[in-house]
Amino acid sequence: MNDLDFDCTMCGKCCHGLRLALTVDEARAWLRRGGRVELMCEAIPWPVEPAAENREAQYRRARSFPAASGTLPVRIAVLLVATFDGACPNLGADMRCGIYHERPLVCRIYPAEINPFVVLAPANKGCPPDAWQGTPMIRHGQLIDSEVQASIDQARAASARDVSIKAQLCAALGVEHAALANEGFVTYAPESDVLLAALDATADEMHDKAHDHRHTPATQWNVISNRHETVETLTSVGALAAPPATTHAYGYLGFFAATPAS
Ligand code: SF4
Ligand code: SF4
């Protein structure tokens, strides 16, 4: 990774119209403050277990739970994301965070990356060009700021720890559709009180079994894609695949233009 310098300009862009990935505990706190939280689901085809030395696959494995789509083994990754249009509800008129000392880890980390396999690229960030100068941020591939690094370590630990709760949460809410990974996300937006009650019940139950890391037994998931060729390919290998349906209680965020059946 190239060396980078960075000084936040306090432009506030990262506090506007973004989806903030939250830990389970952060999602509960966000909902209690009256904020909105959605689920973003993706399915990763997992026909065979990767080699132990495949660190990137093992990273994904630790942050997903096993399931099946038809006869195709998959792993399901679920994000809990705070959603808001325009300014974050916690952003003050002076562009300062109103919950600074309790702000989510992702806010403490931005613009650095949590995923160790994603290279930080200024072009992919909302920060203005003049932010990328000044204080040394990365040297020899290492973040200089130990507090940011500690937040990244916490976020990585939480995303692995939260997997069991997310598996149980999906079962409790009847969430069973996911987008094909790297093509987009299926989103669920339950009513806030329903989601908070389900999260509280699931998290409390799992915390009672603090050292029980078993996941929910594999259940059947539907893999959603807006690309006809993807649906055909998945179906040919035994998956339950379909294009996004307007009759279901989910949304679809695709990274690519839809290709309908001809
Ligand atoms: S919680 Fe605070 S730092 Fe995070 S997006 Fe909202 S205003 Fe910005
Ligand atoms: S977008 Fe970048 S420069 Fe602007 S407030 Fe956020 S971290 Fe700072």
pLDDT value for 98: 95
Question: What 3-state class would DSSP assign to 53?
Answer: coil
Instruction: Evaluate: CB of 131 within 6 angstroms of ligand 2.
Output: yes
Question: In ligand 1, which atom is closest to the CA atom of 12?
Answer: 8
Instruction: Evaluate: CB of 18 within 6 angstroms of ligand 2.
Output: no
H or E segment and range at residue 185 = strand 184-188
Per-residue pLDDT of the chain (262 residues; tens, 9 = 90+): 689 999 999 898 999 988 999 999 999 999 999 999 999 999 999 999 999 999 999 999 999 999 999 999 999 999 999 999 899 999 998 889 999 999 999 999 999 999 999 999 999 999 999 999 999 999 998 999 999 999 999 999 999 999 999 999 999 999 999 999 999 999 999 999 999 999 999 988 876 665 555 545 558 999 999 999 999 999 999 999 999 987 778 999 999 988 887 7
Cβ atoms within 10 Å, residue 59:
16
pLDDT value for 236: 98
pLDDT value for 90: 95
Distance in Å, CA 136 to ligand 1 centroid: 24
Q: Which residue lies with its CA nearest to atom 4 of ligand 2?
A: 11
Q: Which residue lies with its CA nearest to atom 1 of ligand 1?
A: 103
pLDDT value for 204: 82
Distance in Å, CA 100 to ligand 1 centroid: 7
For residues 8-25, one letter each, b for 16 or more C-beta atoms within 10 angstroms of the residue's C-beta and e for the rest, the string is eeeebebbeebbbbbbbb
Question: In ligand 2, which atom is closest to the CA atom of 110?
Answer: 7
Which residue ranges have their beta carbon within 6 Å of ligand 1? Answer: 15, 20, 88, 90-91, 97, 99, 103-104, 107
pLDDT value for 41: 98
